[in-house]
Structure 1
Amino acid sequence: MRRLPERLLVVLLALLAVTPAPAAEALDEDLQLEELLKQGLSQTPRGVQVSTASRFAQSAEQAPALTYVMTDEDIRRFGMRSITDVLRSLPGIYITTNRNFSYIGARGLGRPGDYNSRLLLLIDGVRTNDAATDAALVGPEFFLPVDLIERVEFTPGPGSALYGNNAFLGVINIITKRADKLAGVQARLSADSMRGSEAQLSIGQRFEQGGEAWLSASLMDRARLEYGRPVPAEFDGLLRSFNWDRAKRLVVSASVGGWSLRAGIAERQRGLPSPLAYEPLQLGQFVSVYRNAFGSLGYETSLGPEWDLSVDGSLQRSISYGRHPFFADDGSLSTYMDQARARWAHFDLRLGNSHFANHYLLFGIERQLDFDESISGSVNGEVIQAFGGRVGRSGLYIQDEWKISANALLVAGLRRDLDDRAIERSVNPRLALVWRIGADANLRASYGSAFRAANLNEFATNYSLEGETPRPERVRSFELSWEHRANAQLQYRASYFHSHLIDLISAGNDTPLYQNDGPIHSQGVDLGLEQRWKGGARLAAALSVQRTRDSAHKALNNSPAKLLKLHLSYPLWEDKLYLGWQLLAQSRRLTVEHSLPGCTIHNVHLSWQFDRWTELGLGLHNASDTLCADHTDLASPPMAQEWRQLRLSLSRRFGS
């Protein structure tokens, strides 16, 4: 195993040694507050607030759809260092990666090349899927370091009745922390045995007038990475020199009164070896670049005792390109570059009304304008193919939450969407019944549909080849779930879904045109439990079993039938030293030409709360050094995922 970067270790130890502790008076006050916050940690939580299922905050027990939550405490206890780590830990989700792009699979659908366009990704309720490919970016190019995340909510199943396009398999909403958790200056340095290092710094402040603000900057650098595929030993060092990953991010947040502002920029550069010749082996430097920026402004207020108003507007930009070196016919070194870029604005207005007894009505309108979309290819700077345009999307929706009785809630909603590229308008309903059985049990039944229209890449490909634009793909799903709090320390859940997918858009086997596939049927169950013990120990388990078949009754590629996830957090010394253990397992998966075996990953993490302001983390990722492989690029062999690595981090808080 390689040594950790020495310079970073020196900085970690120096920071720990020389930083003065805050005053004793502040210590006493903080300890009293901490004791209050600890109450109830030995019991499973009640009344957890979620906002993704209904687009407003409500108790998870009353939400019309089951929502899974990963908190900042979970992130810290298990040493998760990226949004990919967080999503991989959620029930029903699996991540496939070629070490350049991370693909999200859910409910048995995660085909290579889909670019996450069937999951809607939100930051504080604001849509972030890019306008050119509808991609949800969850690799190092993502805007937020995990230190800024308060919680991640995942609501599986069709969500187009509220969110429109892309809410096909589910909605992921990432809620950022408020300044009460980011007050003062906070720093984190981390390193791993694969020559990776990361630094993050945030500054937060709450003001006497009631406003608050924070700013965060982070850098990531991973040099000489493993190649991921078997190579002769004599070429290993050469390949590593071309294999690296770098990223930087800057995010700012401010709020006052009912106003909230978010803005951020992120850039990632991923270097990979690109063979130019094989005898003898000559390599060039392939570079994949992601540059993204966003700014959003929101306002929430009450318009009298019966009306609530929420308005969000955002401006975003996304640029991604790859530089591919190659030898031209005359033997000169040339560069081919493919690029996708987009600039767009999104506006969302929601009105809530409680005038009618036992009813809460939600009205909403959305509009997205894509100012500039383009996909192009060029050789040595000369454009050889290009496609661009300006399009818009509109949505109008209504939802009624009707409290039928003290223990029953009926939710009915409908949304109508229009996409300038779509052949037809899309109408998507939602109907859900939430039945409270006693104080500790909850039964939920729901039906809903969702759609996804062809993105720019799919539209442009067919247009350039004089093919028709694919019809929007659709899904209809029925779901049934049961949740029960057996006692103060134990709760469990069981859910079942059955989905019918039609007109899925995919590239044909014998043609580059995108076309609509035949029907796909998917069904599955998700079982979960959470057990807590006095003293702070906690075990969470989730088993997902699904069966997805195409029109020929064949299993889909990259569709594991089983996913098992275990999370154990155990206090080794009071509340200062915690052991976190994760087991992440998935069953065998099919590919076009191969069958990838199932694999199980163990992650072990120790978190030591040195004092109120300093925490040291030591983790072993893939502790069993298990070989897990993904097949994302159909023209290439499977890619092995990261082997065992040691991870070290130091977090320090300055000020209150």
Structure 2
Amino acid sequence: MALLALCCSASTQAAALWADAGELAQLSLDDLLRVEVQSATRYAQPLADSPASVTVIDEDELRDHSYRNLAEALSTVRGVYLSNDRNYSYLGVRGFNRPGDYNSRILLLTDGARRNDALYDQAQLGNEAPVEIDWVKRLEFVAGPSSAVYGANALFGSVNAVMLDGGDIQGARLTADTGSGASQRLGLMAGQRVDSEHDWFFALSAYDARGNDLYFPEFATINQGWARGLDGENYQKAYGKYRFGNWRLSANLSSREKHLPNAPYQTAFNEPGTHTVDQHALLELSYDGPKSNDRQQQFRVFTGSYRYRGDYMLAGALDNRDTGHADWVGGDYRLIITTLPAHKLMLGLETQWNTVLEQRNFDLAPASTYLDSNHPSHTYGIFVQDEWRLSSQWLLNLGLRHDKHSDYAGITSPRAALIYQASEKATLKAMVGNAYRAPNAYERFYDDGGVLQKANLALRPERIRSVELAGDFRVGPGGRVGISLYRNDMRDMIDQVLDPLDGLQVFVNQSSTQTRGIELDAERRWPSGQRVRASLSRQWSSAADGSELGNSPQWLGKLVFAQPVAAGWTMAGEWMGLSARRALVGRVAGYGVLNLTLTSAPMAGLGEFTLGVYNVTDSLYHDPASSAFTQNALVQDGRQFRLSWTLRL
């Protein structure tokens, strides 16, 4: 409660936006609450009408806080927390973030298009994400299940990155960064709204970093526990889209290489060469038709690809390579009917053919193959969503989807939400829904020949049932307070365990798990530009035997603020704290981290400057490790700096 009191009493201010004719007007709280979001229902609707708890991070905040990737921005959302193993970023939602889970229970969308790969089901959100956060106009996070409209993966939350259009740029922007870990980044964005029918946007980005020198006491007998020059990372990303009338063509390519300093999977510590490569590609053609006779058609066709390569330096100079390759094509069709007053009906069909789902594991020298598998699959889903405006105060949203995976029986996912708008200042929501996720190819078929992991062809889909009550209340001019109570019951949860019979890791279905909690959040904006939001979450988690889930903090606290300072500069920051978490052995201590960012207004001919200081107090903190590591917990970054310069061309 102290955090909420601090939120209500803080006197903070927000930054000015681009000071030219093409800039976007700063949103007041009233404007923000009227922002139309698409991720909850697959069509635009006001936040208050969404059949879920939705958090929107607008462009003002994305720029003022200089978030470095999607994961960092999402970590400021109520009930959400972040873990990192120095390779990937993992998003925990409402007490659920199993170490080693590749965000397979989070759905990632860009402009409404699915971005989870077909092999591991992973939503990549850190530097490994296929898109840069600089290219994002708005982030929408939907808490809770959304399988009723999206199918698999939308169990604990859905992320939709609304990408910039050419009209948001009207020219070009060049960005150059330098920072801790000898990091350097160069980015270019260009775009233009040609006329009402044509708009184009294009972006490139390249990043390279040496990384940090890191100390691991578990390896104190090797180089005194230090891994030096082994934390490097580089990536290259490209994105473009072209709108012509009601059509939109989008394309995205990315490649990220990360060197691993912490010796996962029994690799040799302080041995150069252990690294991973993740590559994404997506090509999409979509159509968003006009309303005709109270009907609107929407459809898209797409093709995607994902490639993974991991080189692992084992003891005795043995070089092991792990590869994954997925190709897929698909499409979806939606018909929105509004012939009846106060009624909106959406009918949809979606299908995807996973033409390649290949996994290989082999030693390079001496040559030896342990795994060479390819198990293509296909899915289809049909769904319906029915929204009724029962009166000026009552709104009912019903959704139902049936999905069929080629290897499993069909699964039906319902969702229902009853929304009561008591007044312009109070909205109450009661929501219940089911979601599912079928085992992915990695969980079912990966077997490295009896070294660390074996396959389990008998895995069953996991399912979740969620119940939530939420309230949103306006407080004075420009203020709001929200509360949410939820319960998630999961059965047949897929978890990786150690088989005592042979000592190998294997994915199995657990009987049941549960998370429940309460979330409080508050926000206020002032006409002069002041902005602050805060949240406090209390969550409980338990497995079938009553034990607490791993990497599941009981308390989460957030404070996010921005305030103009002298001469057009803006100070922004976020403080995030969480309580202790259970690790594989014992518990990992809780922590609090403060980030601060100072941003200038655009200066004629000189551009805009941003200085970011992350983990200002240089706190030493850890995240629980998965069974892939010798360490029980992995150290996170200390104080980091980044200086960024942006010039409009």
The equivalent of 1:636 in structure 2 is 630
| Structure 2: distance between partners of 1:463 and 1:235 | 30
- Say whether the 8 Å CA contact 2:354–2:378 is kept in structure 1: yes
Q: 1:210 offset after TM fit, Å?
A: 2.7
Q: Which amino acid aligns with 2:310?
A: G
Distance 1:608 1:428, change over 3 A: same
Aligned to 2:299: 311
> By how many angstroms is 1:568 displaced?
1.2
Structure 1 distance, partners of 2:283, 2:398, is: 32
TM-score of the superposed pair, with normalisation by structure 1: 0.89
Q: Is the 8 A contact 2:198 2:245 kept in 1?
A: yes
Alignment of 1:132-143 (within 5 A): 132-143=119-130
**1:625 corresponds to 2:618:** yes
Q: Secondary structure at the match of 1:61?
A: helix
Q: Distance in 2 between matches of 1:109 and 1:615?
A: 39
**Number of the residue aligned with 1:242:** 230
Contact between 2:295 and 2:335, CA under 8 Å: does it hold in 1? Answer: yes
Distance apart, 1:434 and its partner CA: 0.8
Unaligned 5+ segments in structure 2 are 1-17
Partners of 1:379 and 1:509 in 2: how far apart? 24
1:523 correspondence with 2:507: no
- Aligned residue number for residue 73 of structure 2: 86
| Counterpart Cα distance in 1 of 2:31 and 2:604 | 25
Q: Does 1:384 align with 2:377?
A: no
After superposition, the C-alpha distances for 1:502-547 in whole angstroms (9 at most, x for unaligned) are 1101123325332211211211111111122342111100112111
Q: Aligned partners of 1:162 and 1:227: how far apart in 2?
A: 44
- Map 1:557-636; keep pairs closer than 5 Å: 557-573=550-566, 576-611=568-603, 614-634=607-627, 635-636=629-630
State the alpha-carbon separation in 2 of the partners of residues 554 and 214 from structure 1.
50
Q: Distance in 2 between matches of 1:585 and 1:546?
A: 14
Structure 1 residue 539 corresponds to structure 2 residue 532: yes
- Residue 479 of structure 2 corresponds to residue 486 of structure 1: no
Partner of 1:416: 402
- SS of 1:553 mapped into structure 2: coil
Contact 2:19-2:601 at 8 Å conserved across structures: no
User: By how many angstroms is 1:284 displaced?
Assistant: 3.4
Q: Give the Å deviation of 1:462.
A: 8.3
1:163 aligns with 2:150: yes
Q: Paired residue for 1:495, among 484, 498, 514?
A: 484
- 1:224 CA displacement: 4.2
Select 1:446's aligned residue among 415, 418, 431. Answer: 431
> Within 5 A, what are the aligned runs for 1:100-249?
100-208=87-195, 210-227=197-214, 229-230=216-217, 235=223, 239-249=227-237
Distance 1:220 1:255 in 2: 28
Residue in structure 1 matching 2:282, options 273, 278, 294:
294
Q: Choose from 390, 393, 396 the match for 1:407.
A: 393
**2:621, 2:269 → 1: CA distance?**
27
1:462–1:514 contact (8 Å) kept in structure 2: no
What letter matches 2:422 in structure 1?
Answer: I
- The one-letter code matched in structure 2 to 1:629 is H
Shift of residue 193, structure 1, vs aligned partner = 2.7
Question: Is the Cα contact below 8 Å between 2:223 and 2:270 reproduced in 1?
Answer: no
Aligned residues of 2:584 and 2:624 also touching (Cα < 8 A): no
Corresponding residue to 1:358 among 318, 324, 342: 342
CA contact (8 A) 2:370 2:448 kept: no
Q: Return the offset for 1:232.
A: 6.0
- Answer yes or no: is the 8 Å Cα contact 2:47–2:54 preserved in 1: yes
Q: Which of 637, 643, 648 is the aligned partner of 2:643?
A: 648
Whole-angstrom distance in 1 between the partners of 2:237 and 2:455: 41
Q: Which runs of 5+ in 1 are unaligned?
A: 1-28
Aligned length: 616
C-alpha displacement of 1:631: 2.1
Change in Cα spacing, 1:236 to 1:123, as seen in structure 2 (3 Å) is farther
Following superposition, the deviation at residue 209 of structure 1 comes to 6.3
Deviation at 1:33, TM superposition (A): 6.8
Cα displacement (A) at 1:488: 2.0
Partners of 1:244 and 1:537 in 2: CA distance: 38
Give the structure 2 partner of residue 263 of structure 1: 251
Matched to 2:402, the amino acid is: R
Cα deviation digits, residues 329-375 of structure 1 (max 9, x gap):
xxxx4321011110011211111001122211000111010010111
The match for 1:3 is: none
Residue 214 to residue 233, structure 1, CA distance change in 2 (3 Å): farther
Structure 1 pair 519–481 and aligned structure 2 pair: CA distance change class (3 A): same
Q: SS at the partner of 1:76? A: helix
CA contact (8 A) 1:461 1:513 kept: no
Q: Which residue of 1 aligns with 2:241?
A: 253
- Does the residue aligned with 2:137 lie in a helix, a strand or coil? strand
What is the Cα deviation at residue 416 of structure 1? 0.5
CA contact (8 A) 2:584 2:626 kept: no
User: Deviations along 1:25-60, whole A, 9 cap, x unmatched?
Assistant: xxxx975676x925x648673312111111101100
Q: Partners in 1 of 2:320 and 2:455 — Cα distance?
A: 25
Q: Quote the offset at 1:302 in angstroms.
A: 2.6
Matched to 1:347, the amino acid is G
CA distance in 1 between counterparts of 2:220 and 2:462 reads: 45
Instruction: Tell me which amino acid in the other structure corresponds to 2:392.
Output: A
Partner of 2:383: 397
**How far, CA to CA, are the matches of 2:291 and 2:36 in structure 1?**
23
Quote the residue 2:415 is aligned against: 430
Do the aligned partners of 2:36 and 2:46 also contact (CA within 8 Å) in 1?
Answer: yes
Q: What SS is found at the alignment partner of 1:457?
A: helix
Q: What SS is found at the alignment partner of 2:289? A: strand
Pair 1:359–1:534, CA change in 2 (3 A): closer
Whichever residue aligns with residue 154 of structure 1, its letter is F
Q: 1:522 to 1:384 in 2, by over 3 A?
A: closer
**Distance in 1, Cα, partners of 2:211 & 2:84:** 18
Q: What is the distance in 1 between the residues matched to 2:107 and 2:240?
A: 22
* Amino acid across the alignment from 2:321: M
Q: What is the Cα-based RMSD across aligned positions, in Å?
A: 2.4
How much does 1:600 deviate? 0.4
Alignment of 1:455 with 2:440, yes or no, is yes
Aligned counterparts of 2:457 and 2:269: Cα–Cα separation in 1: 43
